[in-house]
Structure 1
C-alpha cells in the first residue's frame, strides 16, 4: 500500500488550476499538472469537489495517474471510481494492491464493488477475496497477501533467487518470513542477512525468532506493535500460525495516523471526517458534529437543573453566581487534561485497564496538588475582593473540583476500555458535562456550609 504522508501542492499551482477549472481551460490544467510530483498532484485533487477531481484526474499523465490514485484516501478513491468511465476504473482497480482494493471496496456501493471484483483476473480476485474475508477493523483486512517467503532448508542464494523472481509484485523485499512445509511461520530473515551470508548458507542458520500478529487481531494494536518494535514488516498468521500476509511499516503508520485522527475528533466532540477537510461536503461536516452537540446540549440541562435547585442560595448571596464560569471551566479543563493524557497512554500501551486503581491513586494526588495551587490563588484573590468567607468557599471548591475532575478524567478512559467502548468517546465531551453538574453541587454545598445559607 502506498500512501503519501506529507501531501502538499504549491499554492500558486492549485490556484491556477482552480481558476482554469472555472473557465474550462483544459490546456492550462494539463500544462500545470505535467511537472507536478505525485504528492503535489494529490494535494491539488484533495482541494477539489468530486466532479472537478474526476476531470483533473483524467488530465494527469498516464504514467502518474495510478501512483496518484494509490495515494488518495479511500473515500476520495471511491468518489473517483463513481465518476470515471468503466474502462478507466477497471484499469486502475486491477493495478492496485489487494489491501488497497479492499479499502476502496469498503467505500463503494455493493453493486459497484461486485462489478469491479468480477472484472478482476482470477488470481487477483482470489487475493482480494482472501483479505475481504477477515472482520472489519482486523489486521487481516489491512495486511498484504503479496509477500515473498522462504524455507529453512533453502540456502541464502536460493532465497535471493526467489526474491528476484518476485520483485515486481512483492509488497516488501526487506524482510522475508520463513515458513515450513505446512506454511507455518518459523522465523524471519532480513535481506541484509541474506546478502551478507555465503550463498550456500542454509536459511535455518541465519533466521531469527519472529514477531507476528493474528489475522483477527485489532488493526491498531498490531500496527502499534509493528511501529514500537521498529519492524519493517510484521508477519500476519491465522489461528494455526500459518502465514497469510504481512503488515509493512508504512501501512502500520497509516493505520496509526487514522486512529489518531479518529481519537482527536472524538475528544473534541465530533466524528472523524475520514477525508481531507476541503473535499468533504458541508452536509458531512454538519453530520459529524450535530449528534455530539445534541448529546452535549441535553447533558447541559443537568447544570441548569442544579442551578434551579440552588436558586434560593443564589438569591441570598448573588456574588456566588460570579464565580460559576470560573469553577466549571477549571473543573472541565482539569478533567479534559487527565482524560487526554490517559487516552494517549492507552493508545501507546503505557497503561492497561488493570492499572485503573494505580491511575486513580496517581490522579487523586495530581488533582489535590493542582487544587491546592489553584485554590490558594482563588482564596487570596476572592478574599481580597469579596471577603474571607467568600475566599474560603472559592478556595475549598477549587481544591475539591480539581481533585474530583482529575480522578474522573483519568479513570473514564480506562473504564471505557474495560467495557469495550472507544476511550475517546468518554473523554472531553462527557467528562466536561459530568464535571459541570457535579462541580456546581460541590460549590453550593460548600457555600451553604461555610456561609450558613
Structure 2
C-alpha cells in the first residue's frame, strides 16, 4: 500500500470516529475495493456496518466478496433483510457456502429459501459435501464441451457462459453422461480451425474427487500450475471446478492455521484488528494451560535431581542454555517436516528415512555446538563441567531433532494436524527429557 493510500485509510477512520459520514463517503470514493476491505478489517462491528452502507452499490458486492466469511456473517446481522437478500443472490454458489457456515441455521435457511430454484440447487449441492473437502470450495458454474463438438461451436458455448462461468480459460470436456474425458485450454481452442473437433485438441484430464481434502487438492492445483482443476464424483462425472485463485486462498488459510498452531495458539479466522479481545484470549488460553501442565514435568525432573543440584550448584547455570537449544533444534526439525508433509515431499511411509536423516543432522549439530560448549565452558568453569555441557548438547540435539522430525509424521498417520504436534509440545517434551539427560551425564562424569 502506498503512502497516499494509507493517508486515505487514516482519513476514513478519522471521519468515521468523528461522525463525519459525508466526508467519509467522499474519501471512500478515492479508494479501490482492496483498500476499502483493508479499512473494514480495521474497524469494529458497528463502524464496519456504517461504513459499508456508504459504499456505492457497484463496489459493495466486490468488497463483500473480499471479506473473510466471519466478517461477512457479522455484516449480515447488521444489514437490513432486503440488503442481505440482494447481496446473497449476487454471490457465487461457492462464495455463499462459507457465509452460510457462519450464520445461525434459521438465517441460513431463510436466505437459501429466497434464492431462485436453480441457484438454490447449485448452492445446496456444494453444501452437501463434507467440511474441509474440496467439494465445499469448488464452483458448480463452469463451461463445458464434448469431444465431438467443433471448435466453432465450443467458442459459441463459451461466449454464452462469459457472465456466469467461474473461468473460461480451462474448459472440461465431458461425454454424454457428463463423465470427464479431457480438458482443453482457451488458447488451444483459439489456435485451432473452427471445423476441428475438440477431440483433436483436448488433453488428458487431471481431476480430484469432490470428497478429497481441500488443502491437498489445492496443493495439486498449485504444484501442477493449473489455471483450473476439474472436480468429479466417484463415477468420474464432473461436478465442479477449482480455480487457481481459490486454490491459493485455501493454501493461504492452511498456512495461517499451521503458523498459529506451531506458535501455540488457535487460528483467529479473521483479521487481527477485527478480532474481539475475548476471541484472542480464547485462541491462546487453552494452549497456555496445556503447556503449563506439560511444564510441570520439568519441575518434577528438577525435584528428582535436587540433591545433584545442591552438590554442584554450577550445573543450574546451564539449564536454560541446554533446554533452549534442545527446544529450538526440535522446533526446526518439526517445522521442516511439517512443511515437507504439506508439500507432499514426505509421506508417512518415509518415517524411517526421516528418522535416519534427523539423527545424523542432530548429531552433527550437537557435535558442533558441543565442541564450542566444551571449549568455552571448560575455560571458565573447568574441563569437567565443560565436558558435561558438551556431551549434553550432543545428546539433546540428537534427541530433539529425531523427535521433532518424527512427531509430525506420527500426527499425519493419526489424522491429526501435524502443526498441533510440533513446536509447543516438542519444546515441553525436550525440556523434561533434556534435563534428565543432563543430570545423568553430570552424575556419570562428575561422580556425584
- Do the structures match in fold with TM over 0.5? yes
1:373-452 alignment runs, 5 A limit: 373-452=368-447
Aligned partners of 1:9 and 1:40 also within 8 Å: no
How far 1:11 sits from its partner (Å)? Answer: 2.4
Distance in 1, matches of 2:2 and 2:116, equals: 32
* 2:334 maps to 1:342: no
> TM-score scaled to structure 1, two decimals?
0.98
Does 1:20 pair with 2:18?
no
Deviation at 1:10, TM superposition (A): 2.5
**What's 1:307 paired with?**
302
**Is 1:221 matched up with 2:216?**
yes
Asked if 1 retains the 8 angstrom alpha-carbon contact of 2:172 and 2:184, the reply is yes
Q: Deviations over 1:197-218 (max 9, x none)?
A: 0000011111100000100000
- Please state how far the C-alpha of 1:8 moved relative to its aligned partner: 10
C-alpha distance 7-82 of structure 1, shift in aligned 2 (>3 A) = farther
The equivalent of 2:99 in structure 1 is 104
In the other structure, the counterpart of 2:176 is: 181
- 2:322 corresponds, among 323, 327, 347, to 327
User: Separation in 2 of the partners of 1:36 and 1:383?
Assistant: 64
Q: What are the superposed Cα offsets for residues 255-292 of structure 1, whole Å, 9 maximum, x if unpaired?
A: 00000000000000000001000000000000000000
The equivalent residue for 1:94 is 89
Q: Which of 51, 66, 78 is the aligned partner of 2:46?
A: 51
Q: Deviations over 1:201-251 (max 9, x none)?
A: 011111100000100000000000000000000000000000000000000
Distance between the aligned counterparts of 1:36 and 1:412, measured in 2? 47
Aligned CA distance change for structure 1 residues 318 and 291 (closer, same or farther; 3 Å) = same
SS of the residue 2:102 aligns to:
coil
Distance in structure 1 (CA, Å) of the matches to 2:359 and 2:328: 16
Distance 1:15 1:266 in 2: 32
- Residue 9 of structure 1 and its aligned partner are, at CA, apart by 8.8
Deviations 1:281-333 (A, max 9, x none): 00000000000000000000000000000000000000000000000000000
Give 1:127's aligned residue: 122
Q: What is the distance in 2 between the residues matched to 1:211 and 1:434? A: 43
Contact 1:38 1:67 in 2 (8 A): yes
Structure 1 ranges of 4+ moved more than 6 A: 6-9
Q: Which residue of 1 aligns with 2:244?
A: 249
| Displacement of 1:14 | 2.1
In the alignment, structure 1 segments of 5+ residues that lack a partner are: 1-5
Residue of structure 2 equivalent to 1:270: 265
| Partner residue, 1:356 | 351
Distance in 1 (alpha carbons) for counterparts of 2:405 and 2:424: 14
Deviations 1:50-100, CA, capped at 9 Å, x for gaps: 110010000011111101111111111111111100000000110000000
Are positions 1:137 and 2:132 aligned together?
yes
Secondary structure at 1:188's aligned position in 2?
strand
> Residue 84 of structure 1 aligns with which residue?
79
Q: Which residue of 2 aligns with 1:10?
A: 5
Structure 1 match to 2:253: 258
Q: Is the 8 A contact 2:139 2:240 kept in 1?
A: yes
In the alignment, structure 2 segments of 5+ residues that lack a partner are none
Mapped partners of 1:17, 1:425: distance in 2? 40
Q: Does the 8 A contact of 2:8 with 2:31 survive in 1?
A: no
Q: Could you tell me whether the CA contact under 8 Å between 2:8 and 2:30 is conserved in 1?
A: no
TM-score, reference length from structure 2: 0.99
1:207 aligned partner: 202
How many residues align structurally? 448
Match of 1:3?
Answer: none
- Quick check: 2:326–2:397 contact (8 Å CA) kept in 1? yes
